[in-house]
């Protein structure tokens, strides 16, 4: 089994989303000790945004373009995704939605005539489905009875990843990281419980 681990937070290994994603990885590797891990760090300006040449390839299938720059990065990122059997994404929620680093990765891997095609019925993904685990850290709470903010992250990721064929998504979150130490401790415990329940159900 090959696992692709996408790390989005500018805080890297110190981030709650990264630490939660490590817990997901630990459970996956416990079940498949021989698994190969590929880590793709995109936070902290590690991944440039798409360029004009890339945008032109999406504008027209017959445009005169080159195979360097963002097109070459896109090819590399898509190959990583295609080669994976499981994807684990660790991401913060920024301003109620996905951070710009994750949006940059999405812009590279969601590519017309490469990971989706457009027909009379709309856009159809070309990637085979596989489990995608998404570890989220949020300063506020966006689910449950104490939610005080909307969530544009999980519905967007569900739609955009589904568009390229990735529909087996599982979301886990540490919420309320900006609400004090006790809130963070409780949020971590809730995330751990959700992970335990999810993987126990998969065994069953």
Ranges of each domain in the chain: 2-203
Range in 19-23, 58-62, 100-104 the model is least confident about: 58-62
* Bridge pairing between strands 122-125 and 116-119: antiparallel
Share of the chain above pLDDT 70, in %: 98
Query: In the predicted model, what is the mean pLDDT of residues 108-120?
Result: 95
Instruction: Using the predicted structure, report yes or no on whether residue 150 has a pLDDT greater than 80.
Output: yes
pLDDT value of position 204: 47
Q: For the chain, list the strands marked E by DSSP.
A: 2-7, 36-41, 86-92, 116-119, 122-125, 131-138, 168-175
Query: In the predicted model, what is the mean pLDDT of residues 110-135?
Result: 96
CATH architecture of 2-203: 3-Layer(aba) Sandwich (3.40)
Query: In the predicted model, what is the mean pLDDT of residues 16-38?
Result: 97
Mean pLDDT over each residue of the chain, to the nearest integer: 94
Angstrom distance (rounded) from CA 92 to CA 17:
6
> Quick check: 7 and 39 in contact, CB under 8 A?
yes
> Quick check: 38 and 123 in contact, CB under 8 A?
no
- Would you place residue 106 in the very low, low, confident or very high pLDDT band (cuts 50, 70, 90)? very high
Share of the chain above pLDDT 90, in %: 86
Is the alpha carbon torsion for 92, 101, 56, 60 positive or negative? negative
Query: In the predicted model, what is the mean pLDDT of residues 17-40?
Result: 97
* Bridge pairing between strands 36-41 and 122-125: unpaired
Read off the pLDDT of residues 129-145 as tens digits, 9 standing for 90 and up.
999 999 999 999 999 88
pLDDT value of position 145: 87
Range in 41-45, 53-57, 125-129, 183-187 the model is least confident about: 53-57
């Amino acid at each position: 089994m090959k696992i692709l681990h996408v790390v989005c937070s500018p805080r890297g290994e110190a981030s709650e989303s990264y630490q939660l994603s490590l817990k997901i990885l630990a459970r996956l590797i416990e079940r498949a000790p021989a698994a190969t891990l590929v880590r793709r760090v995109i936070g902290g300006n590690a991944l440039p945004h798409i360029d004009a040449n890339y945008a032109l390839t999406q504008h027209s299938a017959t445009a005169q373009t080159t195979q360097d720059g963002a097109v070459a990065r896109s090819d590399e990122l898509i190959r990583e995704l295609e080669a994976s059997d499981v994807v684990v994404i660790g991401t913060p929620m920024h301003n109620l939605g996905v951070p710009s680093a994750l949006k940059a990765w999405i812009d590279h891997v969601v590519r017309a005539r490469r990971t989706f095609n457009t027909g009379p019925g709309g856009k159809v993904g070309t990637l085979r489905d596989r489990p995608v685990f998404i570890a989220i850290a949020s300063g506020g709470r966006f689910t449950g009875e104490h939610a005080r903010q909307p969530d544009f992250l999980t519905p967007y990721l569900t739609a955009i990843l589904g568009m390229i064929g990735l529909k087996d998504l599982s979301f886990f979150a540490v919420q309320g990281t900006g609400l004090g130490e006790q809130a963070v401790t409780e949020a971590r415990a809730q995330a751990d419980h959700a992970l335990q329940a999810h993987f126990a159900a998969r065994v069953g």
